[in-house]
Structure 1
């Protein structure tokens, strides 16, 4: 008789589709839980697979300590960096890499168009009831060059969208492959690009990657778009550059986050900021859960999930 695997899935509205999709797997028992709770009941404590909620993913992180049988944590976010050091040893951690490519790449394109077409200035003129004909200089994406740091699903999707607007992209990943440069080449690649897009994950190699030297190497008037993690960019160095007007920025993530109300970035007119919401459009939760179910199905089949960030300890390993 096949054993039943217990999967703990949030009961919040955005996660109900997850309950439905996980229940379609063979030999599973989907157990709902409230992500705001601090205590699990006895049935919930027996879960072997834990799925944090789509929104506010980190909220129930402490609940892992109440699950003695935990074998896997499947999150709906693309990056697993915030969970990597919290998941117990021997427990598989997997993300929903690939699910966010369409919504986040669309945000990147919209951010680039917003800055090049000068929508912030237009809105400010509109607020003042000013017909701003010839009062500002708009630009076009056609003929521009973009350096995309992070050549995964999101970065590749950004490159495809840019191509439709006549923008040529240079892709960078941790290691080189056909059509993709290695991270070691970044210092030689920065100059000559009108746009720099960050879609890389946060790790020891990318933390503060965009530092004072990186920003200084960017061409005058260049646009930095960060859709990765706030800690990849040195915020103080960025404030200096955008405050001077030499560079522009579009940020979906910041460091610190949330950005305090008195932070100088808010006052930089050459910067637009969204509150870590690039993926937050209707249907993204479904995409996340579709990928999550694929990861869990692989795990239940005895395979390493494609998006696995950690591997379980071998039996008998110290």
Structure 2
């Protein structure tokens, strides 16, 4: 157990307040740093929590952090930071922090799309009472969850009570768990897509997943299918999805887009059957307590000489 004082930077005073008990024995010191300007204690910081949804470059904020051992993200995705992690520093993501919020939105987008809520909202704005006709329900639909990590499991857990059949696809086939009998491999996707009415995309953005849901994949879906993307915009081919939705063959619920932010004149905004939310999947008040709990575990582990959780990039040696 190390007796060296652990200086930790957190991006907001709220974090410092919630974690104040960690400083009681003098082994941990918390400093508030939003990373917009260099911190006067920068050379002493050993563990730094990166602001949520920041567009800062780690290459710009890490110079001078001579004692830095690990950077903690507040997002599960980390692809935009991977190339900027300095030697000798580990990068940790926030896997688990956004499971509830993102899964909740995935379900909301699927329900809203299938139950045609955007059309009813538009009719409400015009004072129009739509005629009563039988419309589609989520019940009895076949749902494919593309990506079966923490958030994928959270999505499935929320879907099952809606009387749907669920298929999960991961990077490789494996045995099932307490939710599903089996998990299919990505190579099975072309055979599975024609038999599913809803596809929820929740894979990380990698070289292998960029453009995964392309024109060929979308063409395999049955008429009226809904594509819900709560992963990253570039996983889905935007032009191909636009063409399918503009024709009326498919619908889409998108929390992420390519490009992002979505320009005001982009046709996704006005294409019938497309519902867009501005990348808000994890941004709820359910996030903060889970993020604080993760930071607490990380600080305690580093203080006590134990391995960190959620390490996505190991500390690599420097050139010297």
User: Is TM-score (shorter-chain normalized) higher than 0.5?
Assistant: yes
Distance 1:224 1:146, change over 3 A: same
CA–CA distance in structure 2, aligned partners of residues 88 and 100 of structure 1: 26
- Is there any run of 5+ residues in structure 2 with no aligned partner, and where? 176-181
Which residue among 105, 116, 119 is the counterpart of 2:103?
105
Which residue among 97, 117, 120 is the counterpart of 2:118?
120
CA–CA distance in structure 1, aligned partners of residues 293 and 56 of structure 2: 22
Aligned to 1:138: 135
Of residues 268-277 and 81-90 in structure 1, the stretch that sits farther from structure 2 once superposed is 81-90
* Paired residues for 1:122-271 under 5 Å: 122-134=120-132, 137-178=134-175, 179-271=182-274
Give 3-state SS (helix, strand or coil) of 1:110's partner: helix
Aligned to 2:46: 48
Moved over 6 A (4+): none
Aligned to 1:310: 313
**Deviation for aligned residue 1:58:** 3.4
* Paired residues for 1:88-99 under 5 Å: 88-99=86-97
Equivalent residues of 1:52, 1:60 under 8 A apart: no
| Alignment root-mean-square deviation, CA | 2.2
CA–CA distance in structure 1, aligned partners of residues 26 and 214 of structure 2: 49
How many residues matched? 312
Distance 1:17 1:252, change over 3 A: farther
Normalising by structure 2, report the TM-score. Answer: 0.90
Which residue among 270, 281, 286 is the counterpart of 2:289?
286
Of residues 278-287 and 162-171 in structure 1, the stretch that sits farther from structure 2 once superposed is 278-287
Aligned to 2:6: 5
**Deviation for aligned residue 1:60:** 6.3
Q: Residue deviations 1:255-309, cap 9 Å, x none?
A: 1110001111111120000000012222311112212332443444444433111
CA–CA distance in structure 1, aligned partners of residues 33 and 208 of structure 2: 36
- Is there any run of 5+ residues in structure 1 with no aligned partner, and where? none
